[in-house]
Chain A
Amino acid sequence: MVKKEILIVDDSEINRSMLRLMLEEEYDITEAENGAEAMAIIEKDDHIFRLILLDLVMPVMDGFQFLQELGNHKLDPEIPVIIISGDSSEESLDKAYGLGAVDFFTKPFNPSIVSHRVQNVINLYSHSYRDMLTGCYNRNGFIQIAEKFIQKEEDVTKYSMMFFDIKNFKAINSIMGNSGGDYVLKFISNGIQKSNLNPLFVARLEADHFVCLAEKGLVNYTSMMEENGSLLEFNGHTLQVRFRAGVAHLDIKRPVVEFMDRAKLALNYIEDEYLKPYAEFDGKMAQNYVNAAVVTSEFETSLDNGEFQVYYQPVMETSTGKVASAEALVRWIHPDRGLIRPDLFIPALEKDGYISRLDLFVDMKVNSVIKKWKADGLPVVPISVNLSWMDFYDADMIQLIKDRLENDPNSSKDIRYEITESSYAALKENRSIILREMRRLGAQLLMDDFGTGYSSLGMLMHYQFNILKIDMSIVRQLEVNAEVPHIVELIINMSHHLKMKVVAEGVETESQLNFLKNAGCDYIQGYYFSKPLPEEEFKAFLAKHLAEDKILTY
C-alpha cells in the first residue's frame, strides 16, 4: 500500500525534521519552509495530502495567511490542518480555528501525541475518500489517487487494474442479514489488501464491487484461486466466499476510469465461474464496450430518436404448437455501433436509475401496439413486459400500471408482467403491497428466470404468480447434466401444484422440446420456435399463424 501524504509547513528545519522522524515510518512527508512555498506545492497538484501540519509564525507567508488562501482554494477533498505553532495563546488559536484549522499541538513535540492526533484527524476527515465500512478507498478517493499515480508514472504498462465482485452477494445478504454481508465485505477488502497481489490502492466502489491497482508482475491467478472459496464463520453459519475478477492491463495513459470500466467489462467474459473465475480484458471486448457514462448521458436522446426498439419473442403452447403469447424485449440499435447487447447497457441504466424510464417506454409501446392491432382487426396475443426491481420504487410508473388495470380491465389480459428474483429485496422492503395490489386488479404475473437466484423459492412462497419461467441456463443443461431432467420435472410438478403454468425459456432443439412436452411443460419460448422479432415481422408472424389457425384464443 502507498503511504498517505502529509505536508509539514514550518520555517525551522529542526522542527520539520523532528516531525518527519516521528511520522515518516507511516506517512510520506513533504516539507515547506513557509506558507508561500506550501501553497506552490499544493497548486502544483501532484500530491494528495491527507493532512497539513502548520506553524503560524513564518517569514514570507505566515500560517494565518496560508489558512486564508487554502480556504479560498476550496479543495475537494479539503485537507485538514493541525497547528504546530509554539504560539498556543487563545487568541492565535481562535484566529487559526476561525480560518479552518482543526487541532493543534504544542512544542516540544511528543511522538505519541503527534502520531495519535495525526491519525485521528486523518481518519476524521477521510469520509470523502474512504469507504467507512471497509476502510479502503471509495470510488472518489480511488479515482483521485490512482489517476495521479498513473499520470505521474512513466511506464504504465507495469500495472494492472483488477475488478472484483463477490459471487451471490445478494444471497449472502439475504441469508445472513446485512451484518453478515458487511462482514463478508470487510473480509474481502482485507483479503485483497493483504494478498500477495500487494496492491497499491484498493477501493470498494459500491455494494460488493472492489477495484485495485497492482503491479502486473504480481497478478498471479494460481495463488489468487487458492484464496478463492475461503470458508467464513459468522453467527454460527459457515459460508464459502467466492469472488470473480476482471483484469485490465494498462496499455497507455488513459483516464483511470477507463481501466476500471475495462476490468469490470472483462467480468462479463468469465466462462466458468468455478474453474476460471477471472478474465482479462482484450480488444474484442472493446468493440462491444459500452461506456456506462455514455449510455446514461445518451439515453434520453437515444430514446427520443427511436434507437430503442421493442422486439417480440413468441411463446408457443407445447401440446399444440400454437402461439400462446409473447415477451417484449428491448433492443438498442445505435446509429454508429449497431445492435448493442442488453446485458451491456441494462446494468448501466439500472445503476443510474434510468431503467424505469426504459421499462415504462416498453410498457407504453406494447400497450399502444396491442390497442392499434385490435382496432385494425389484426390478431393479438398477450404480451409480457419486464419489470425491474427499481420500478417498484418508481411511484409514478406503478401508479400508471395500476390506473390502467383499474380503468381498462382488458389490459390485464393483454399485458403481463415478468418479475425476477432481483425484485425480492425491493418487495420485502414494504413494497410487497404493490404486487398484491396489481394481482387484485387482475394483473397476470410471471416469475422470470426461475432457478438462477437464491430467492426464487422465497418469491414463490410469499407471492402468487400465474406463470413460472424456467431459466434458459437450466434448459441448456437438459442434455448435459443427468440430474437436470429430474429437476425440471419437479419444477413443473411443483408449479402445477401451485396452480402456475410453466414456460421453458431458451428452447433450441427438438429433443429439448420433446422432453419438455413429455414432462408436461405448458409453453416453450426460444429459437427453436422463433427468435425475437421486430414489430412488423411479429405482425406478419401472427398473421401467418392466424391463417393456419395456430393462435391460441385468450
Chain B
Amino acid sequence: MDIKELYSKIGGNFEDVLGRLMKEAFVEKFALMYPKDTSYETLMAAIEKGDINEQFREAHSLKGVAANLGFEELRKAASKLTEQLRPQTAPADAALVEAVKAAQQKTIAGLAEYQAQQK
C-alpha cells in the first residue's frame, strides 16, 4: 500500500493534500503524525464531561487538523458535529459522535496498517 492507496482506504483526499504540501514525502510525514495528535481524545473527554462550549471548540480543532491532513471522511464527520454544536444549546448528538468515532477508527486503523507494512 502506498500513501495514495492509504488515503483512498481511509476516505482521504490525496490530490488535495498533495496540492498543498507539494511532495508525497511531506504528505506521508504529516499523515503519520496524526496518531499522536490529541484533538480526538480531547473532544471525547469534553463530551464525557458534558461542557457544550468545550465540545464545540474541540470538534472545531479536530475538523481543522483533519482538513489540514486531507482526511476528508474524518473532516466531514467532525464538521457535521461542529455545526450541530455551533448554537451551543444542545450537547453533542450521539449519532454524529458515533460517525466521528467510526471515521477516527478507520483512519487510525489505516495508518497503523500502513506503518506496519513499512517496517
Contact = CB atoms under 8 A, between A and B. Distances in A.
The reply to whether chain A is a binding partner of chain B is: yes
Contact of B70 (A57, A59, A85, A108): A108
Given A85-B64, A107-B68, A14 B20 contact: no
Contacts of B68: 14-15, 18, 107-109
A13 B32 CA distance: 12
A13 B33 contact: yes
A57 B61 contact: yes
A11 B57 CA distance: 13
A21 interface: yes
Which residue of B22, B42, B68, B69 has the most chain A CB atoms within 10 A of its CB atom?
B68
Contact of B33 (A14, A57, A110, A111): A14
A262 B57 CA distance: 56
B30 A108 contact: no
Contacts of A21: 21, 26
A59 B38 CA distance: 11
Contacts of A55: 61
Contacts of B36: 13
Contact of B30 (A18, A85, A86, A89): A18
A319 interface: no
Interface in B47-101: 57-58, 60-61, 63-65, 67-70, 86
Nearest to A87: B60
A18 B30 CA distance: 8
A14 B65 contact: yes
Contacts, number: 61
Nearest to A13: B33
B64 A18 contact: no
A108 B65 CA distance: 8
A12 interface: yes
A17 interface: yes
Contacts of B34: 14
B37 interface: yes
Interface in A74-121: 85-87, 89, 107-111
Nearest to A110: B20
A12 B39 contact: yes
A55 B60 CA distance: 11
A226 to B, nearest CB: 41
B42 to A, nearest CB: 8
A14 B69 CA distance: 8
Contacts of A110: 20
B28 interface: no
Given A21-B26, A57-B57, A89-B86, A15 B64 contact: yes
Interface string B1-39: 000000000000000110011100010001001101111
B41 to A, nearest CB: 12
Given A13-B36, A14-B34, A18-B30, A109 B20 contact: yes
Which residue of B36, B37, B39, B61 has the most chain A CB atoms within 10 A of its CB atom?
B61
B37 A57 contact: no
Interface in A9-65: 11-15, 17-18, 21, 55, 57, 59
B22 A12 contact: no
Nearest to A12: B65
B17 to A, nearest CB: 8
B16 A12 contact: no
A111 B22 contact: yes
Contact of A85 (B20, B37, B60): B60
Contacts of A11: 38, 61
A108 B17 CA distance: 9
A107 B67 contact: yes
A15 B60 contact: no
A194 B61 CA distance: 44
Contacts of A14: 30, 33-34, 37, 65, 68-69
A11 B60 CA distance: 13
A59 B61 CA distance: 11
A59 B37 CA distance: 14
Nearest to B57: A57
Q: Which 9 A-B pairs have the closest CB atoms?
A: A86-B64, A107-B64, A108-B67, A107-B67, A57-B57, A87-B60, A108-B68, A86-B60, A57-B61
Given A15-B65, A89-B86, 18 more contacts: A11-B38, A12-B65, A13-B37, A14-B65, A14-B68, A14-B69, A15-B68, A17-B30, A18-B30, A21-B26, A57-B58, A57-B60, A85-B60, A86-B61, A87-B60, A107-B64, A107-B65, A108-B67
13 contacts: A12-B61, A13-B33, A13-B36, A14-B33, A14-B34, A15-B64, A55-B61, A57-B61, A59-B42, A85-B60, A89-B86, A107-B63, A108-B16
